[in-house]
């Protein structure tokens, strides 16, 4: 399986934009996660982020918080997620996977053990939502080195409040792509994207060379369409997760998620 940095380069070569889907692993259970990854992959999703459920997800809005709660209630943990990923790969699904996690579950698992196991089961990248490149101490350096050794690519966020002086640091440390946070706030669908987002993307684009993808609160086809020219990919999360919360049955949710992913991917294609 290829690293995401390479996939992004290939997409760029072809003039394509990445559609990236986020779902919470284990929501409502890990078998469903395997099914959903398959559906997303069949819908043409380029990269899938699997959220690791956490008891105190302070960067998440209500939709993803509830997803985390559902997953934890059903006993989801990192060990189980790794097994589910093994199953995904066994089915021949090759879509690159990112683990999106708060640091504590990773630390408790052990940073070196985590990187080794992630590589073993076929995970490409990891994004720790409560880690910035500056907070590195012994344990974080160990984490970084372990990821490097295993070829797991770290991803960091860049936000509207990130000072220009730090953009280069984030670019250096973020290996797969730079994840631009579309607005200050938590994850979760919003009716409108920020007025200044496109200007911000243009500015960042001028300074950083790595692929730039944008996420947080993007939930609609027309939002994806309007952002497409200014970035290398778009991440949609809560809009998909919401279907799991609201649909009557899992198979209805899965169908809706498949359809949404198809539309989002299509919205990123050139007219």
Partner 1 sequence: MNPDSRGFYGNYGGAYIPETLYTPLEEVKKAFFFYKEDSDFQKELSYWQKEYVGRKTPLSYAKRLTEYLGGAKIYLKREDLTHTGAHKINNTLGQILLAQRMGKKRIIAETGAGQHGVAVATVCALFGLNCCIYMGEEDTLRQKLNVYRMKLLGAEVRTVTSGSRTLKDAINEAMRDWVTHVRESYYLLGSALGPDPYPQIVKEFQSIIGKEAKEQIIKLEGRLPDECVACVGGGSNAIGLFAPFIEDKNISLVGVEAGGQGIEENLHAARFSGGSLGIFQGTKTFILQDEFGQIKKTSSISAGLDYAGVGPEHCYLKEMGRARYTSVTDEEAMEGFSLLSRYEGILPALESSHAIAYLLREAPKRKKDELIICNLSGRGDKDVETAMSYQKGRTLNETD
List of residues contacting partner 1 (CB under 8 A)? 54-62, 65, 72, 77-79, 102-109, 129-132, 134-135, 137-139, 156-163, 166, 170, 181, 184-186
Q: How far is the CB of 77 from partner 1 (least distance, A)?
A: 4
Task: Identify whether 232 is a catalytic site residue.
Answer: no
DSSP state of 160: T
Q: How far is the CB of 157 from partner 1 (least distance, A)?
A: 4
Q: What SS3 class is residue 128?
A: strand
**Complex with partner 1: residue 45 or 128, whichever CB lies closer:** 128
Task: Identify whether 29 is a catalytic site residue.
Answer: no
Q: What SS3 class is residue 217?
A: coil
**Complex with partner 1: residue 59 or 198, whichever CB lies closer:** 59
What are the backbone angles phi and psi of residue 149, rounded to the nearest 5°? -60, -40
What are the backbone angles phi and psi of residue 135, rounded to the nearest 5°? -90, 20
Q: What SS3 class is residue 191?
A: coil
CA 162, chain centre distance (Å): 20
Give the DSSP H or E segment for 10.
Answer: helix 4-13
Q: What SS3 class is residue 235?
A: strand
**Complex with partner 1: residue 155 or 261, whichever CB lies closer:** 155
Sign of CA dihedral 186, 192, 198, 203: negative
Show the CA angle centred on residue 171, arms to residues 65 and 163, nearest 5°. 75
Q: Which of 29, 46, 49, 153 is catalytic?
A: 49
Q: How far is the CB of 254 from partner 1 (least distance, A)?
A: 26
Q: How far is the CB of 143 from partner 1 (least distance, A)?
A: 11
Burial of 79 (0-12, 13-18, 19+ CB in 10 A): exposed
Q: How far is the CB of 221 from partner 1 (least distance, A)?
A: 25
Q: How far is the CB of 198 from partner 1 (least distance, A)?
A: 19
**Complex with partner 1: residue 13 or 56, whichever CB lies closer:** 56
CA 156, chain centre distance (Å): 11
The tokens for 237 are 């999360």
**Complex with partner 1: residue 77 or 226, whichever CB lies closer:** 77
Distance, CA of 215 to CA of 233 (rounded, Å) = 9
**Complex with partner 1: residue 244 or 260, whichever CB lies closer:** 244
Distance, CA of 168 to CA of 171 (rounded, Å) = 5
Catalytic positions, written as ranges: 49, 60
């Amino acid at each position: 399986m290829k690293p995401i940095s390479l996939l992004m380069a290939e997409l760029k070569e072809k003039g394509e934009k990445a559609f990236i889907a986020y779902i919470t692993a284990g929501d409502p259970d890990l078998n469903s996660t395997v099914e959903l990854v398959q559906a997303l992959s069949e819908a043409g999703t380029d990269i899938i982020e699997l959220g690791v459920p956490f008891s105190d997800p302070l960067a998440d809005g209500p939709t993803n918080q509830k997803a985390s709660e559902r997953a934890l209630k059903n006993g989801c943990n990192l060990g189980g997620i790794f097994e589910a990923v093994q199953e995904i790969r066994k089915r021949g699904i090759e879509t690159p996977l990112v683990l999106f996690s708060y640091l504590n579950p990773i630390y408790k698992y052990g940073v070196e053990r985590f990187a080794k196991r992630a590589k073993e089961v076929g995970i490409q990248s990891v994004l720790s939502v409560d880690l910035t490149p500056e907070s590195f101490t012994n344990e974080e350096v160990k984490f970084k080195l372990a990821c490097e050794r295993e070829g797991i690519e770290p991803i960091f966020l860049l936000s509207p409040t990130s000072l220009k002086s730090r953009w280069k640091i984030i670019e250096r440390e973020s290996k797969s792509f730079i994840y631009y946070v579309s607005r200050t706030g938590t994850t979760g669908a919003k009716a409108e994207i920020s007025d200044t987002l496109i200007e911000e993307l243009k500015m960042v684009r001028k300074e950083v060379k790595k692929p730039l993808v944008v996420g947080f609160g993007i939930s609609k086809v027309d939002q994806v369409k309007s952002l497409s020219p200014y970035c290398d990919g778009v991440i949609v999360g809560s809009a998909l997760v919401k279907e799991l919360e609201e649909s009557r049955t899992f198979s209805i949710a899965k169908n809706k998620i498949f359809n949404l992913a198809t539309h989002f991917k299509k919205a990123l294609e050139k007219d």
